[in-house]
Structure 1
Amino acid sequence: MTSWIMMKMLKFNKKLFINKFNNFKLMFFMTLILGTMISINSNTWINAWIGMEINLMSFIPLMFNFKKSSNSIMMYFITQALASSLILFSTLMMKIETNLVKLNMMFSMIQLSLLIKLGAAPMHWWSPKTFINLNWKMGFIFLTWQKIAPLILLTSSLNNNLLIYMSMISSIIMGALLGMNQSLIKFVMIYSSINHTGWMLLALMLNTKLMIFYFMIYTLTNFMICINMNNSNFNYINQLFKINNQNIYIKMLSISMFLSLSGMPPFLGFMPKIMILIIALNNNLYLESLLLIITATLTLSFYMNPMLSMFLTMKLSMKWNNKISYIHKSMQMLILINLLISLMILPFLMKLL
């Protein structure tokens, strides 16, 4: 009887702890959003720094997932604290110095710290080590929401485009080369994010509206992939062989998401990339456009690994079980959204830019 009471008390305490933890997660999600909103709506660098600190202190508790998360938390905290200290130091020095050369150097330091927070190459060394131990939900926030504040703040510090240009070139090259021959889906996603960061930095220098549009398409595509991987509990590429036992529509959904992220026409991800290439060619950026096309081809090569695992290695017995392979209506809508609409919307968007 005593042991039964003890078991009931332990279960009750566990449920109470889980409920409290979920309440704290909701609070940290709210402060995470608040910190980003403070940063992108601030008029001074001090206010932007405060917003990014609130965002940092809210995201660190959300990274805790009861597994090997301590290394990721410390890596993320040290890197973001270093970038925040550079912003604060540069802002204070700008208040003291009156020499124009030193002021430009302070602006360059602020740009460097924002690029570190963004995870752009060559300051990308910390992002794979942080992303590898996150779950897919926190990984989606890491890939998308945490990039909003640095990208928006970079638009207000475009006095020295050389640093952003060099980071853009290195991000495109490093993201394409390091993502090849990876066995972890998370490594494919993070190096893909570094490559997409280079595209967004180029769009940032050319047209801010185009950068926002590119980021929205990138967020939508990452949302579909992360939700699919989270529901399936997949981490390695060889685990995608399990999809061979499912319906052809689930394969179409998964393949269309990776093709959209790679920018393959006529999927949704092709639309912002072709717009960036058109505007880059109009600004006589021929070598940069050639580099973008070459690296896009390289990134498509490592996107093909998950797709080959999902589609080409089928079982010899082609028996589809409709009961197991039921697709929710919302997932069917994602397939329709991700397919041929890019070529229909592209002419109208080109008139707006």
Structure 2
Amino acid sequence: MTKKLKFNKNLLINKFNNFKLMFFMTLIMGTMISINSNTWINAWMGMEINLLSFIPLMFNLKKSSNSTMLYFITQALASSLILFSTLMMKIEFNLMKMNMMFSMIQFSLLIKLGAAPMHWWTPKIFLNLNWKMSFIFLTWQKIAPLILLNSSSNNNSLFYMTAISSTILGALLGMNQSLIKLIMIYSSINHTGWMLMIMMLNVYMMIFYFLIYSIMNFMICIMMNNSNINYINQLFKINNQNLFFKMITISMFLSLGGMPPLLGFLPKMLVLITMMNNNLFIESFMFIIMATVTLSFYMNPLMSMFLSIKISTKWNFKIKHINKFMIILMLINLSISLTILPFLTKFL
């Protein structure tokens, strides 16, 4: 009987892994269809394939039925707005109504992106995801809405107001949070404001910003997944780890906050330079203030690690839970942005 049970469990695990691989492939395919589409109907179809592939990956997680239903309702609402606006553009030929339909499409894409003030659904969903799915939610799920927003950028005032509100609300709501996932999702809203602002000025700069942002999120999600950490209080156990492990974690959070000379400082500095070249001085000053606010709440997960002698009374220089992959991530993160910045500013 025990052999049969083990055999049945192995079959179930293999089937689950095969279904998971299939949904990952369709998730990638849906995004690619949306990016390479020439019409809004094809873009809508690609986003629906992406949605129907991401929901089963969420539903296999524990305690995720409510968040899965909420994600489905918000994404279906945004998709229905896109489909309705596309059909109305085929019927109406008035320019005023066409501009209104384009604005509705942009509004629905901003809902899918999770930008403020349409961000209310993102923290409730993000709390019930594991770290692997959190990385997909923060990075891959933003690709199709960002590319489609760039192709439909006829209402820059909507982009401007959304970028300002995302930067301010993402910075203010992330303060005094005790969950690392809440800090990550509010920082994602803040970074979305930066990406929307630079999208109006330079699209290639937005792609560069998104790539650096994805690398930083990948570092943090892999580190938190390997350490099995969700709360800030759990970071106290890192005091029993070695100094090198602390340096990796601290550098990753500071890089996400944009502390020079880490990797996350480079895209923010390039965005500020581009904004000042376009005479957006007040907005640049506001973005700098919000960047300092976000850096302040990034420091909360690190305060326990700054106390080097909290639990253990001796320095532990033995390398534990550190592999070559983590060393490579730290070297990438510690690449000196100040040396690369003068060369990149020549191409602006």
The partner residue of 2:323 within 328, 334, 345 is: 328
The partner residue of 1:207 within 202, 223, 242 is: 202
The partner residue of 2:114 within 113, 119, 136 is: 119
Shift of 1:327: 1.8
| Equivalent residue, structure 2, for 1:159 | 154
Q: What letter corresponds to residue 104 of structure 1 in structure 2?
A: N
Is contact 2:240-2:312 (8 Å) kept?
no
- What is the CA–CA distance in structure 1 between the aligned matches of 2:233 and 2:217, rounded to whole Å? 20
The partner residue of 1:193 within 182, 185, 188 is: 188
Q: Deviations over 1:240-281 (max 9, x none)?
A: 011111111110100000000000100000000011101101
The partner residue of 2:290 within 295, 307, 328 is: 295
| Equivalent residue, structure 1, for 2:71 | 76
Is contact 1:241-1:313 (8 Å) kept?
no
| Equivalent residue, structure 1, for 2:26 | 31
Greater than 4 Å deviation, 4+ residue runs: none
| Equivalent residue, structure 2, for 1:47 | 42
Q: Which runs of structure 2 are paired with 1:53-202 in the superposition (5 Å)?
A: 53-202=48-197
> Are residues 1:307 and 2:302 paired?
yes
SS at structure 2 position matched to 1:63: helix
> Are residues 1:241 and 2:228 paired?
no
Is contact 2:239-2:312 (8 Å) kept?
no
SS at structure 2 position matched to 1:181: coil
Q: Deviations over 1:195-222 (max 9, x none)?
A: 0000000111110000000000000000
Shift of 1:318: 4.1
Is contact 1:132-1:186 (8 Å) kept?
yes
Shift of 1:324: 5.7
SS at structure 2 position matched to 1:80: helix
| Equivalent residue, structure 2, for 1:220 | 215
Shift of 1:113: 0.4
> Are residues 1:347 and 2:347 paired?
no
SS at structure 2 position matched to 1:206: coil
Shift of 1:326: 4.7
- What is the CA–CA distance in structure 1 between the aligned matches of 2:312 and 2:20, rounded to whole Å? 46
Shift of 1:322: 4.4
SS at structure 1 position matched to 2:175: coil
- Structure 2 unaligned runs (5+)? none
| Equivalent residue, structure 2, for 1:229 | 224
SS at structure 1 position matched to 2:103: helix
Q: Deviations over 1:162-220 (max 9, x none)?
A: 11111111100110011000000000000000000000001111100000000000000
Is contact 2:243-2:317 (8 Å) kept?
no
Is contact 1:203-1:211 (8 Å) kept?
yes
Q: What letter corresponds to residue 205 of structure 1 in structure 2?
A: M
- Structure 1 unaligned runs (5+)? none
Shift of 1:345: 1.6
SS at structure 1 position matched to 2:200: helix
Shift of 1:126: 0.4
Is contact 2:250-2:302 (8 Å) kept?
yes
Shift of 1:336: 1.2
When residues 274 and 324 of structure 1 are mapped into structure 2, their CA distance, relative to the original with a 3 A threshold, is closer
Is contact 2:82-2:108 (8 Å) kept?
yes
**Superposed CA RMSD:** 1.2
Work out the number of aligned pairs and report it.
Answer: 348
SS at structure 2 position matched to 1:194: helix
- What is the CA–CA distance in structure 2 between the aligned matches of 1:302 and 1:287, rounded to whole Å? 23
Is contact 1:65-1:134 (8 Å) kept?
no
Q: Deviations over 1:19-62 (max 9, x none)?
A: 10100000110110000001011111111001000100000011
Is contact 1:176-1:295 (8 Å) kept?
yes
Q: What letter corresponds to residue 93 of structure 1 in structure 2?
A: M
- What is the CA–CA distance in structure 2 between the aligned matches of 1:291 and 1:210, rounded to whole Å? 20
Shift of 1:323: 4.4
**How much identity, in percent, do the aligned residues show?**
77
Is contact 2:171-2:290 (8 Å) kept?
yes
When residues 161 and 341 of structure 1 are mapped into structure 2, their CA distance, relative to the original with a 3 A threshold, is same
